């Protein structure tokens, strides 16, 4: 073919004969890179064959070797969304499935093919049942059931050989016809995967591989839309029939975000092995490793962007493996290396919104710490279930970890699938997800226009405008949270973090001068003023005359301002060279608030 070696790479001339199936070998990719004609990035491509033929593919085929070595009868891989679960399951399907096409051509230049005849002999010899539930996102149970039925019916039609197989009996033939025609009793649908497996084994003489991708998508939507118990009952029966003690099964693979074990959805399934983000085994096969990213950056000619990719899209840890968000890395490269929060637009982040809007003061305090870049300590249970998220504060962090919104910085102990861990936000991209969803959750507290007006007033150092809009913000905040200082204070702090995080380090209740300030916003750039806030609450005894409340609030806000001066709270920012500091005293009572302010300037006239 005229191939020649350059350094560690084999290069193929452009005129060389190419494989008939259109595959591009690693050597051809290197040649394309040198000529400037890089292989396209597989944005949104989850079909393994199409990816291998036409796009850049990060080789995850050694997963095949590992699942064959481990030989778990049924494996569940739990990972966050957009971490390559569907593509990886499609790779397994392509490897195991017997088809009229010789699918070995897709693996002969992949890592698995060099692992020996033992593994190559498993290629293309099994019937495969493949179902992906990733698009089952409906508002009612009736719509969900209808589309599950249609999805399974299409899989029956894909295995058309069983419809006329002389190895299947009359009952099975009738069942197939009714399922495909839509006349099957819904109660019988829970046996559909199990019956298909049995018929495929009868016809081919080989028990099938069953793959269920994103199995918990309809469960999550059932929780969000009010039909949770119905979808759980159905899925429990469907998966029990398909996987539990099924003699017509070679291997079973499932993917999802959560395990949902406590729901009895996998009750008694002693042949199930769960591989969560806490497990070392299989840790490198979902998402990109450090080596994957470095190789990709070299290929696309931008190795100098590694630090930026780390800042934005690194930070995940599956088992002991450092993992990058694959969706975001691909989109970053495709967008000419301009960092954005690509992941937040790929799915529903309502759970963050729910946590913020319905959370306790303790959880809101933890969210503040996370947004400051700090860690929190929590007990992680990878078998958390959706109803627990609102009812059990500790389960919130288990869900956020499993769903990709937190990462483990330190694991203090380990007991099966549970562990006590230190957690923090993984990277800059996920920080923006928190910011966006916290602002969305607090949309009933303050309008987006109010947040923008506050930012604009600070940037322009327009103190009267800041006073006006901050007062509006306070009144909106008080109207949502309870009248107690604690509830209001937590809501105010979350709102300030969401508004100010790009320009200010927002801290609270820290020592400065001769005491502890309530809120300090220290600017990252001295082009902006520093801000100090002191809060005061008008007591009920002092509010006995409603007509005098505004007057008393005004005096109390001035007293708060005097405290800032008397206790010298600005000392720390002055020592850091902040040239201007806005001192704000706030007094509130129920849904009323008053603001007093003073500008302290170290700029010589």
H, E, C per residue of 63-102: HHHHHHHHCCCEEEEECCCCCCHHHHHHHHHHHHECCCCC
- The DSSP code for 511 is E
- Average pLDDT, whole number, for the chain? 83
In 541-605, where do the E strands start and end? Answer: 580-589, 592-601
How open is the CA angle 451-455-456, to the nearest 5 degrees? Answer: 115
| Residue 184 belongs to some domain of the structure | yes
With a cut of 50, say whether residue 542 has pLDDT above it.
yes
Percent of the chain with pLDDT over 70: 79
How open is the CA angle 446-451-457, to the nearest 5 degrees? Answer: 135
Give residue-wise pLDDT tens across range 232-243: 999 999 999 999
Euclidean distance between CA atoms 25 and 41, whole angstroms: 15
Task: Give the number of other CB atoms < 10 A from CB of residue 513.
Answer: 17
Q: What is the average per-residue pLDDT within 561-572? A: 93
Percent of the chain with pLDDT over 90: 50
Which of 413, 434, 455 is where one domain is finished?
434
Residues 235, 100, single domain; the answer is: yes
492 — pLDDT class (breaks 50, 70, 90): low
Return the bridge partners of 531, or none. Answer: 521, 582
451: closest CA among 412, 487, 498, 493? Answer: 498
Give residue-wise pLDDT tens across range 569-593: 999 999 989 999 999 888 888 767 7
Task: Give the number of other CB atoms < 10 A from CB of residue 466.
Answer: 23
40 — pLDDT class (breaks 50, 70, 90): very high
Sign, CA dihedral 164-170-172-176, equals: positive
| Residue 159 belongs to some domain of the structure | yes
Q: Which residue has the higher pLDDT, 502 or 45?
A: 45
Residues 396, 450, single domain; the answer is: no
Which of 391, 414, 434 is where one domain is finished?
434
Tell me which of 266-270, 493-497, 554-558 is least confident: 493-497
The domain tally of the chain equals 5
428: left (phi over 0), alpha (psi -120 to 50) or beta: alpha
With a cut of 80, say whether residue 448 has pLDDT above it.
no
Return the bridge partners of 272, or none. Answer: 74
| Residue 440 belongs to some domain of the structure | no
Euclidean distance between CA atoms 205 and 197, whole angstroms: 11
8 — pLDDT class (breaks 50, 70, 90): very low
Give residue-wise pLDDT tens across range 17-39: 444 444 444 444 444 444 456 89
Q: What is the pLDDT of residue 33?
A: 43
Residues 489, 378, single domain; the answer is: no
Mean pLDDT highest for which of 392-401, 507-516, 556-565?
Answer: 556-565
| Residue 280 belongs to some domain of the structure | no
Residues 418, 294, single domain; the answer is: no
Residues 475, 390, single domain; the answer is: no
Q: What is the average per-residue pLDDT within 124-137? A: 96
With a cut of 90, say whether residue 220 has pLDDT above it.
no
Q: What is the DSSP string of 375-414?
A: -EEEEEETT--HHHHHH-HHHHHHHHHHTTS-EEEEE---
Structure tokens at 496: 């300030």
Q: What is the pLDDT of residue 488?
A: 61
| Residue 160 belongs to some domain of the structure | yes
Residues 77, 155, single domain; the answer is: yes
| Residue 127 belongs to some domain of the structure | yes
Residues 466, 355, single domain; the answer is: no
Euclidean distance between CA atoms 284 and 333, whole angstroms: 21
Q: Which residues contact 356 (CB under 8 A, 6 or more apart)?
A: 364, 367, 437, 438, 441, 442, 494
595 — pLDDT class (breaks 50, 70, 90): confident
Q: What is the pLDDT of residue 475?
A: 65
Residue 438 CA, chain-centre distance (Å), reads 15
With a cut of 90, say whether residue 97 has pLDDT above it.
yes
Euclidean distance between CA atoms 294 and 24, whole angstroms: 20
Give residue-wise pLDDT tens across range 143-185: 999 999 999 999 999 999 999 899 999 999 999 999 999 999 8
Q: What is the average per-residue pLDDT within 409-435? A: 76
Given the DSSP bridges, would you call strands 519-523 and 504-508 parallel, antiparallel or unpaired? antiparallel
Residues 17, 64, single domain; the answer is: no
With a cut of 90, say whether residue 409 has pLDDT above it.
no
Residues 114, 178, single domain; the answer is: yes
Return the bridge partners of 479, or none. Answer: none
Residues 256, 396, single domain; the answer is: no
Q: What is the average per-residue pLDDT within 188-217? A: 96
481: left (phi over 0), alpha (psi -120 to 50) or beta: beta
- Asked if 372 and 506 touch (Cβ cutoff 8 Å), the reply is yes
Q: What is the pLDDT of residue 487?
A: 54
Q: What is the average per-residue pLDDT within 322-335? A: 96
Q: Which residue has the higher pLDDT, 364 or 274?
A: 274
Return the bridge partners of 253, or none. Answer: 75, 211
- Asked if 550 and 496 touch (Cβ cutoff 8 Å), the reply is no
Structure tokens at 268: 């008694």
Which of 414, 434, 454 is where one domain is finished?
434
Q: What is the pLDDT of residue 339?
A: 93
Residues 425, 571, single domain; the answer is: no
Euclidean distance between CA atoms 179 and 441, whole angstroms: 43
Residue 111 CA, chain-centre distance (Å), reads 29
Q: Which residues contact 315 (CB under 8 A, 6 or more apart)?
A: 407, 425, 426, 427, 430
- What is the crossing angle of helices 463-480 and 485-500, to 10°? 130
Residues 231, 133, single domain; the answer is: yes
Q: What is the pTM of this model?
A: 0.76
Whole-number CA gyration radius for the chain: 29
With a cut of 80, say whether residue 112 has pLDDT above it.
yes
Euclidean distance between CA atoms 561 and 586, whole angstroms: 8
| Residue 282 belongs to some domain of the structure | no
Q: What is the pLDDT of residue 427?
A: 94
352 — pLDDT class (breaks 50, 70, 90): low
Give residue-wise pLDDT tens across range 501-525: 667 887 777 888 888 888 888 888 8
Tell me the residue range of the domain where 325 lies. 288-338
| Residue 281 belongs to some domain of the structure | no
């Amino acid at each position: 073919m005229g191939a020649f070696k350059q350094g560690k790479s084999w290069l193929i001339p452009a005129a060389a004969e190419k494989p008939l199936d259109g595959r591009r070998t690693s050597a051809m990719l290197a040649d394309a890179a040198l000529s400037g004609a890089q292989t396209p990035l597989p944005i949104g491509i989850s079909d393994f064959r199409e990816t291998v033929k036409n796009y850049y593919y990060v080789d995850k085929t050694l997963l095949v070797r590992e699942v064959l070595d481990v030989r778990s009868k049924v494996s569940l891989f739990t990972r966050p969304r957009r971490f390559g679960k569907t593509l990886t399951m499609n790779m397994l399907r392509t490897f195991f499935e017997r088809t009229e096409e010789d699918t070995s051509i897709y693996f002969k230049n992949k890592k698995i093919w060099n692992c020996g005849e033992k593994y190559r002999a498993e290629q293309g010899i099994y019937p495969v049942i493949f179902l992906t539930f990733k698009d089952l996102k409906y508002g009612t149970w009736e719509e969900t059931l209808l589309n599950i039925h249609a999805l399974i019916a299409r899989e029956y039609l894909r295995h058309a050989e069983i419809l006329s197989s002389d190895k299947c009996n009359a009952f099975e033939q009738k069942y197939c016809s009714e399922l495909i025609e839509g006349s099957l009793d819904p109660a019988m649908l829970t046996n559909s995967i199990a019956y298909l497996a049995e018929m495929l084994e009868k016809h081919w003489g080989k028990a099938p591989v069953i793959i269920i991708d994103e199995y918990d998508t309809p469960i999550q939507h059932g929780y969000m839309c009010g039909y949770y118990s119905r979808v759980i009952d159905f899925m429990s029966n469907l998966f029990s029939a398909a996987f539990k003690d099924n003699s017509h099964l070679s291997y079973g693979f499932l993917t999802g975000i959560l395990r949902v074990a406590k729901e009895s959805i996998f009750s008694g399934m002693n042949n199930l092995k769960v591989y969560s983000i806490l497990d070392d085994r299989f840790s490198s096969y979902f998402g990109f490793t450090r080596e994957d990213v470095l190789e990709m950056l070299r290929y696309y000619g931008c190795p100098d962007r590694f630090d930026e990719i780390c800042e934005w899209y690194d930070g995940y840890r599956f088992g002991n493996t450092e993992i990058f968000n694959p969706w975001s890395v691909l989109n970053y490269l495709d967008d000419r290396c301009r960092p954005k929060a690509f992941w937040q637009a790929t799915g529903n982040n309502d759970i963050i919104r729910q946590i913020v809007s319905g959370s306790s003061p303790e959880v809101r305090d933890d969210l503040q710490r996370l947004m400051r870049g700090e860690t929190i300590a929590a007990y992680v249970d990878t078998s958390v279930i959706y109803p627990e998220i609102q009812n059990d504060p500790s389960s919130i962090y288990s869900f956020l970890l499993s769903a990709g919104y937190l990462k483990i910085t330190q694991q203090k102990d380990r007991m099966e699938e549970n562990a006590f861990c230190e957690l923090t936000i993984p990277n800059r991209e996920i920080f923006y997800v928190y910011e966006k969803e916290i602002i969305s959750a607090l949309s009933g507290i303050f309008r987006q226009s109010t947040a923008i007006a506050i930012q604009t007033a600070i940037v322009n150092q327009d103190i009267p405008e800041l006073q006006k809009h901050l007062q509006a913000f306070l009144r909106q905040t008080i109207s949502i949270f309870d009248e107690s200082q604690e509830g209001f204070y937590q809501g105010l702090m979350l709102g300030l973090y969401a508004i100010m995080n790009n320009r200010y380090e927002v801290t609270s209740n820290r020592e400065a001068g001769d005491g502890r300030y309530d809120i300090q916003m220290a600017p990252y750039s001295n082009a902006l003023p520093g801000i100090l806030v002191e809060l005061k609450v008008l007591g009920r005894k002092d509010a006995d005359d409603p007509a005098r409340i505004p007057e008393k609030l005004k005096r109390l806000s001035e007293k708060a301002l005097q405290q800032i001066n008397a206790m010298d709270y600005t000392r720390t920012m002055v020592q850091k060279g902040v040239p201007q500091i806005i001192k704000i005293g706030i007094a509130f009572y129920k849904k009323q608030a008053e603001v007093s302010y003073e500008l302290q300037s170290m700029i010589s006239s």
